[in-house]
């Protein structure tokens, strides 16, 4: 992979991470999630033209 491709991919993934964290934090506030409450999370990444569908699952806790 070339440097331009790597930089564009890193920029995209950073944007995904930052905006996703903001959305999750807002949803937790809106719900009034209790400390220690845990939520199942799932991210589906698709890339058109590559026939890629990548799924990541996990748990997100609202803190103690």
Each of the 64 residues of the chain gets a pLDDT tens digit; together they read 799 999 999 999 999 999 999 999 999 899 888 888 999 999 999 999 999 999 999 999 866 5
For the whole model, what pTM was predicted?
Answer: 0.80
Residue 9 is part of which domain span? 3-61
Which DSSP string do the residues of 15-36 spell out, in sequence order? HHHHHHHHHHHHHHHHHTPPTT
Distance from C-alpha of 50 to C-alpha of 64, rounded to nearest angstrom: 41
If you ran DSSP here, which 8-state letter would residue 41 be given? E
As for how many domains the chain has, the answer is 1
- pLDDT, residue 32, reads 87
């Amino acid at each position: 992979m070339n440097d331009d491709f790597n930089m564009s991919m890193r920029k995209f993934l950073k944007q995904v991470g930052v905006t996703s964290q903001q959305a999750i934090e807002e949803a937790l506030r809106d719900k009034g999630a209790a400390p220690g409450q845990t939520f199942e999370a799932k991210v589906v990444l698709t890339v058109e033209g590559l026939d890629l569908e990548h799924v990541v699952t996990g748990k997100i806790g609202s803190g103690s």
